[in-house]
Amino acid sequence: MLKLYQFERTWGIPNLSPFCCKIETYLRMADIGYEIKSTLPLNAPKGKLPYIEDGGKALGDSRFIIAHLKSAYKDLDQGLNDTELAISLAMQRLLEEHLFWAALYSRWQYTDENWKTNKQAIFGGLPPIIRDIVASRWRQKIKRQIHGHGTGRHQAEEIFALGKQDIEALSASLGDQQYFLGDRPTTLDTSAFGLLINIIGCPIESPLKEYGLSKDNLINYVNRIKHKFYPELQMMR
């Protein structure tokens, strides 16, 4: 059976990583059998979670994992036309290459309280001395990545202003539809759900979360997917 390596569940959401949540949601939407292996990314093929093992092969990066799942199991995007596929790709880039960095900043850098919450969720299972050393090193690494990406070079209010633009675009794009591209889930929804629930559905406070919670259609969207595909988890609100 396919094995999914990801962070341990916490906060009452599928996963604290948008990308781990993305992959597990794809597996559930496509009705693909899998087994979860909770871990840290220390030995991951690309140094990040999630990754999968399938047929004796380890595969990292959510984009390549989904490409594998599409070819080996089920393609959630089958039936989409070229325009819809282009919209899906563009929206996933907005989510994963832009909005994600504002969310990452809110956890690892924005406030000490957010960092403490994030640190406990990720590293809380380690022995105290090791936990503090490992967590500190990872925090510095992530902060360098945020700065290298460019997001970390802005002031907090500028970062969240850009993130709010993305939230606004997502809300407008979704409208009153059940899913982003109509009445059935596609790969875009796995990405959108994974990131949105990690902004508005977890105990990390920021102007980005506040703005997301002002969009009723996004709240209803997240709750609807969580209820349908993760019935074992309680409703977000």
CATH of the domain at 220: 1.20.1050.10
Return phi, psi of residue 10, to 5°.
-160, 170
Q: Encode pLDDT of 128-151 as tens digits.
A: 889 999 999 999 999 999 999 999
Query: Which structural domain range is residue 142 located in?
Result: 82-229
- Per the model's pLDDT, the better-predicted residue between 209 and 42 turns out to be 209
Domain finish residue from 16, 41, 72: 72
The single residue listed with the structure tokens 């403490």 is 116
**Whether residue 68 is found in the same domain as residue 102:** no
**Residue 151 in domain:** yes
**Whether residue 88 is found in the same domain as residue 36:** no
Angle among Cα 9, 7, 31 to the nearest 5 degrees reads 70
Q: Encode pLDDT of 43-96 as tens digits.
A: 899 999 999 999 999 999 999 999 999 999 999 999 999 999 999 999 999 999
Number of Cα atoms under 13 Å in the Cβ half of residue 82: 0
Domain finish residue from 23, 42, 72: 72
In sequence order, what E strands does 170-234 have? none
Mean pLDDT, the chain, as a whole number?
96
Amino acid at 169: A
Please choose, from the candidates 234, 230, 233, the residue with its C-alpha nearest in 3D space to the C-alpha of residue 27: 230
CATH of the domain at 54: 3.40.30.10
Domain count, the chain: 2
Inform me whether the pLDDT recorded for 236 exceeds 60.
Answer: no
